Structure 1
């Protein structure tokens, strides 16, 4: 298949810093920005990502960084580290809690350990289109979901969308629920996605994002679910022949910061970060929608066999995945699910 996009950068080790030392460094940095005079050093924060710089999350992160620098007249800077060069998916939350970095943007599923409600975006076919997702971000229910991190040491300051999820595999065109029987799919941690695969008589295999390409290449797994842009930028089209555009779930991230570090900033600094985060969120919504369209065109050009579910096929998948609501509706939150449905 054609070489359409650059390969993700190589991972490099990151030396861990003790909680006490990291906290002291953060306080020194905050003090520097508060000082008067031409010699004051800018406040520098690090944002760690596991996706590429060109992905919707990567582009939103850069918009966040650029806006922070603009609003602060260069007195505040955000350094963006994509491709997991600082932390992997399983490491980044600990890195943030330890104040070794100041911002991350994990998916909702990765926060299920704090509260099952963060799996709302993975509930099958809950969101009908991108407009509904944006309405949820800006709703009271969206605010309540972010507040569920209170007391964890983390603070969510914005939602960053990626797009609707699709299935890829290297065995056959997935057109009906029965086609999934016996296949192994990489899934993120969190019970909802695993239950989804079980409802399709497939197996879910929890795996680091950075390991997926190799696992697909070696046949350790048969397929995976992800957004069209991630399929493109991670070059899964090189090792997967079939793509099913199902829109069965929506991949969304939360821009998180260390709560103690953030609270230690001045009111003006916090306001700049929050305003920049909202600007990045709005930017990401438009970017993600366009990236979804562009990525589908490029994946077709790359030679993938593409199936776009018809209304009848979609209905069959919705029915097959209904048991996920029986198993996880209460845990995720019946009120939260009802709130999303009220946005339709």
Structure 2
């Protein structure tokens, strides 16, 4: 009889515990704005993140993605997240430098040599330093995902040396460092929202653009662009931003679950993005794009020409951010 009472008490306690966990989750549907289509690796990341939140919240914490900029471009959607009109947005850092100028350090040309460096930097103390600044502007970063290394396409000619940038009308993100980088290389840099790029290329309003492989394939730029040059001139981190207004209404359990599941999504998103990137180059070739690399000596000339960009924008970015990022990169590289 005594053991039966003990078992009954243990079962009741277990049920009470389960109820407490459930009570820490409210029914929530977090809408996520995204500028790309569902087939993009962001879709893989969000699918994993959403499975994770549903599993950990007993089905209460739901994530609903919206694709192709249907809730606004990166900048307007981020503003909607800041005001609490939308709960979440996936965005590159570049459109946010007007809100947090320090993020401009990630737009400096040729900052990272490879993805491993980027992962170590963003998943460590530097990523945490930037994340700590975001709640003050109305958003919380749950994890660092990636758009990846950016490359150049155009409809005029292959770019094999620095002089080939001359006179190419190049769409860039709405970001002063990108504008300055391509102007410095001799291009006519035209800032424009991502959602407008395809039609601008089609109508020859611009000759070219720059984006990671998966975006180039995903947006079918190969239909309106002939030449792809593997410039790897910048690496675009992606922020998984939640409205601070939503964050502040959440229990510690909900907050912890979102961060944990954003990290689960990050592993999937990066893995798929990198695998798809290699596949995308092959696909773009098969769609008729001419793909070329730039020789190391010419690449050195391009890097040398863009070295002034840090000097031009260092004051706006701020000495602390620059010193932190470059100091950590030096440590990662072991020199």
| TM-score tier (shorter) | 0.7 to 0.9
Q: If the length of structure 2 is used for normalisation, what is the TM-score? A: 0.88
Distance 1:148 1:35, change over 3 A: closer
Superposed, 1:276-295 pairs within 5 Å as 276-295=261-280
Tell me the residue number matched to 2:16: none
**Are residues 1:334 and 2:319 paired?**
no
1:229–1:291 CA contact under 8 A, matched in 2: yes
Tell me the residue number matched to 1:4: none
**Are residues 1:225 and 2:213 paired?**
no
Tell me the residue number matched to 2:242: 257
Tell me the residue number matched to 1:343: 332
Unmatched tracts of structure 1, length 5 or more: 1-32
**Are residues 1:308 and 2:293 paired?**
yes
Residue 252 of structure 1: how far off its partner (Å) = 1.6
Q: Is the radius of gyration larger for structure 1 or structure 2?
A: 2
Distance 1:35 1:66, change over 3 A: closer
Which deviates further from its counterpart, 109-118 or 308-317?
Answer: 308-317
- RMSD of the TM alignment (CA)? 1.8
Match of 1:209 among 194, 203, 214: 194
Match of 1:195 among 161, 166, 180: 180
Give CA deviations for 1:85-132 in whole Å, capped at 9, x if unaligned. Answer: 222233201211222211101110111012222122221111000100
Tell me the residue number matched to 1:269: 254
Residue 155 of structure 1: how far off its partner (Å) = 1.1
Which deviates further from its counterpart, 141-150 or 300-309?
Answer: 141-150
Once residues 40 and 200 of structure 2 are traced to their aligned partners in structure 1, the CA distance between those partners, rounded to angstroms, is 21
Give CA deviations for 1:228-259 in whole Å, capped at 9, x if unaligned. Answer: 00000000000000000111101221011111
Match of 1:150 among 113, 116, 135: 135
2:214–2:280 CA contact under 8 A, matched in 1: yes
1:175–1:313 CA contact under 8 A, matched in 2: yes
Tell me the residue number matched to 1:47: 32
Once residues 325 and 305 of structure 2 are traced to their aligned partners in structure 1, the CA distance between those partners, rounded to angstroms, is 18
Once residues 324 and 313 of structure 2 are traced to their aligned partners in structure 1, the CA distance between those partners, rounded to angstroms, is 12
Residue 343 of structure 1: how far off its partner (Å) = 2.1
Once residues 170 and 43 of structure 2 are traced to their aligned partners in structure 1, the CA distance between those partners, rounded to angstroms, is 25
Shift >4 Å, 4+ stretches: 33-36
Pick the structure with more helix per residue: 2
2:97–2:104 CA contact under 8 A, matched in 1: yes
Unmatched tracts of structure 2, length 5 or more: 1-19
